[in-house]
Chains A and B, each alone.
Chain A
Amino acid sequence: MYFAGIDIGSRTIELVILDGEEIVLTRQADAGVDPISRARAILRDVDYDQIIATGYGRHLFESSFDAPTVTEIRAHATGACALFPGVHTILDIGGQDSKAIAVNDAGRVTKFEMNDRCAAGTGKFLEIMANTLGYRLDEFGLGALEAKKDIRISNMCTVFAESEVTSLLARGEDRQDIALALHWSVVRKTIGMLRRVSVREPIVFVGGVALNPCLHLLLEKALEKDIIVPEDPQIVGAYGAALLAKKTAISASTIL
C-alpha cells in the first residue's frame, strides 16, 4: 500500500510517498500564489491509498481533496522521531513560521512554542535580508560565515531591520559582517523560543532554514550542544504526514 504526506507551506510544497516503511518518491514545488493548483500538479500521476495534509495550506487542501489533516507540529514531530529515534527537541523554521517542539521518550509532543503573527526570525526574514544585501538565498549563510567582524543588529522586525541594514551599508560596513549580524539576530530569537520549550538533546533542526549552514553553526555555538540536520530537512513534515497516513489507514482497516 502507498501512503502520501503533503506539506503545503507558505513558500514550498513537499510530497512524500511511502511504500510501507520506505520512501519511494519525494517531490518539491514552489507554493506560488495558488497553492492548491500546485498541489494538484505535484500529485498528478501519483498513486496512493491514503493521504494526509499538513502545513499552512492544509485546510485549503482538506476542502479541495476531502483529505484529513494534521498540524505541522505533529507532522514534524512524527517525521523527526522516525528519522532519529529518541529525539527530544525539534526546531522547525520555515518560510513564515518558526516552532520549537518538545517530545517525550514515547515520541509524543509535550509542549511547543510558535512565533506569533510576525515573521521575525523566519525564512521570510532571511530571504528579505539576503535580497537587501544582494545575496542569493542559498549563498546567504555561506556569505555570513566569511564575516571578519562582529556587528550587532538590534531590530528583529523585518521592516526596521531592513532600514538598519541600509544604514550599516551607508556607514561602509562589509556585507558579510552585516549578514552574520542578521544570522545572530535570528539565532537569539530562536534560542529564546527553544528555552521556553526544551533544549534537551538530541536536537533536530528541520524546515527550509535548516539548509542555512551559518544558522546551524551559530545555534550549536549558542546552545553549546550538537544539533542534527537531516539530509533533506524540508521533507520531514511531509514524511511525518505520510507516516500518520499509514497509521490512519491501518487503524481504519482494523476497525473494518
Chain B
Amino acid sequence: MTGYRDMWQALGLDLGAHSALLEALGKGYQDIYLSQRNRPQGMSYFDFVMKEVHGLRIRELLDEKKAGHKIIGSFCVFVPEEIVRAVDSTLVGLCTGAEFATEEVEELLPRNTCPLIKSAFGFKLGKACPYIEASDMIVGENTCDGKKKSYEVLRDLVRKMYIMDIPQVKSDGGRALLKAEYLRFKETMEQFTGISIDADRLRKGIEIVNNKRKALHRLSGLRRANPVPISGLDALLINQVYFYDDPKRFTDSVNGICDELETRIERGEGVFPRSTPRVLLTGCPMAIPNWKIPHIIETAGAVIVGEESCVGERGVRNLTDGSGETVEELMEAIVERYFKVDCAIFTPNPDRLEHILEMYEAYRADGVIHYCLQFCQPYLMESMPVERALEDRGIPTLRIETDYSLEDIGQLKTRIEAFLELIL
C-alpha cells in the first residue's frame, strides 16, 4: 500500500505508527480470516475491502470531498444515515476495535474506561485512523456515560464535533427528544452542505440505507440453514464493512454472496459439519479488528449463527418506512425506526431479551454467549439478568467480559471450550 503514502501524509497520519498498524492488521487478517476453510468465493470482495480499508476506500472518500460532498464520522448506530445520504454525504464508522497509543490515551481518560472509547482516542492521538482525519464532521451521541463524557474531551482534538442527545427511556418524552434531536441534526446537515432536504431526497436516502439492511437480512436468513453456509467470522466481517463501504456496492456484494450461499444450501454444503454446535452471540459491538472472541469460538469447534449486537442484528433489524409523502412523514418514520433500537442505555430494556430469545429460536442456536467489553456498564449490568432469564428457559449461557488485549486468550479458550462441552 506504499502507493497511498502521500495521501496518508496529507491526512496527517503518523506514517511509522500507521504502517505498523497495517502490518499487524494484515497479519491478524491472514491468521484469523484467510486461514478459514470452505469460505464462500464472494468473500474475496470483502478480503479486497479489508486490504484497501485504509487505501482505496480513503481515496474514494477524498474524491467525494473534492467533488463537494461531506464525510461524516460516527461511533454509533443512532446516527441516522438516511439524513446524511439525503444531503449527498457519506457516513463512516470510525476506528474503535484495537488497542492503540494506550499510554497517551490514559493521559486524557481514566484507565478503567471501556476499550472501545480508549481505542477511538488512541487512533486519534496516535494519528492512525484515516477515517477520522478525512471526516468533515464527527457526530458524537449521548448514549453511555463513558461516551458522552469522553466526547467533551474529544471535542478539542477534532476539527468539528457535533453532539446528538439520545433518550434513555422509551417514553413519549423520550421519543419527543429523539425527534427534536433528529430534526436539529437534519437542519445542521442542511446548513453544513447547503442542500435543503425535500421528500425525494429523504426517500432516496431511506431507500439506499434500507437496501443495505435488506441485503443483511437476506444474509442472516441464510445462516438458519444446517450446515451453515458461511462462518460467523465472515458474517461479522460483512456486518463490520457495512459501516465503511460505499452503500450501493456493499448491497450488491452482499446480495452476490447470498446467491452463492443459496446454491450452497441447495447442495447441502456448509463451512462446518452439520453436527457443529451453533452459538448466538449477544452483547457489545465488535468493531474491526476485534475478532478475538469469534475466532476462539469458531476454532474451538462451534459456529456463530447470529450476532445480537450493534454490529449485527440490533443495528440493522428494522427498516425505515419510506412510503411517506412529505418530509414530516418521512422524518417521523426515521424517528419511529431508530426509537426501536434496543441498546442497553435504555432503562428498562425488555425488548433486547425478547430479541435474544427470538434469534435463539430463529437461528436454531444451541447456546448463547454474552459478550461484554470491560467497563461497559450498561451491557455488563444487563448481562446478569439476561443470563438468568435465558437459564430459566433452559438455554445454556456463557458470560464473557474482556477487552482488546490478548493476555486472557488461554482462559477464554478454556471457558469457551468448556461451554461447548456442556452444550454438545
A residues near B (Cβ < 8 Å) are 56, 59, 70-74, 97, 108-112, 114-117
Contacts and interface: CB of A to CB of B under 8 A. Distances in A.
Interface in B222-265: none
B418 A74 contact: yes
B214 interface: no
Contact of A109 (B391, B411, B421): B421
B408 interface: yes
Contacts, number: 38
A109 B408 contact: no
Contacts of A110: 422
Contacts of B391: 111
Contact of A97 (B401, B411, B413): B411
Interface residues of B, number: 13
A82 B407 CA distance: 34
B136 interface: no
Contact of B414 (A108, A109, A114): A114
A254 B421 CA distance: 22
A71 B417 contact: yes
A6 B274 CA distance: 31
A56 B410 contact: yes
Interface string B395-424: 000000100000110110111011001100
Residue of B401, B413, B414 with highest tally of chain A CB at under 10 A:
B414
Interface in B366-415: 391, 401, 407-408, 410-411, 413-415
B422 A109 contact: yes
A71 B411 contact: no
Contacts of A97: 411, 414
Contacts of A59: 413
A10 to B, nearest CB: 9
B401 A116 contact: yes
Interface string B287-300: 00000000000000
Residue of A74, A109, A110, A117 with highest tally of chain B CB at under 10 A:
A117
A172 B414 CA distance: 43
B414 A72 contact: yes
B414 A73 contact: yes
Given A109-B421, A110-B422, A116-B401, A71 B414 contact: yes
B212 to A, nearest CB: 37
B397 to A, nearest CB: 9
A114 B391 CA distance: 18
Given A71-B421, A73-B421, A109-B421, A117 B407 contact: yes
Contacts of B417: 71
B408 A116 contact: yes
Nearest to B416: A71
Contact of A117 (B408, B413, B421): B408
A132 B422 CA distance: 40
30 contacts: A56-B410, A56-B414, A59-B413, A71-B414, A71-B417, A71-B421, A72-B414, A73-B414, A73-B418, A74-B418, A74-B421, A97-B411, A108-B422, A109-B421, A110-B422, A111-B391, A111-B422, A112-B415, A112-B418, A112-B422, A114-B411, A114-B414, A114-B418, A115-B411, A116-B401, A116-B408, A116-B411, A117-B407, A117-B408, A117-B411
A240 to B, nearest CB: 12
Nearest to A69: B417
B114 to A, nearest CB: 16
A43 to B, nearest CB: 23
A103 B34 CA distance: 39
B419 to A, nearest CB: 8
A112 B397 CA distance: 10
B404 to A, nearest CB: 13
A109 B367 CA distance: 14
List the 7 shortest-distance A-B pairs measured between CB atoms, nearest first.
Answer: A73-B418, A117-B408, A71-B418, A74-B421, A71-B417, A109-B422, A71-B414
Contacts of A72: 414, 418
A114 B399 CA distance: 11
Nearest to B419: A112
B407 A114 contact: no
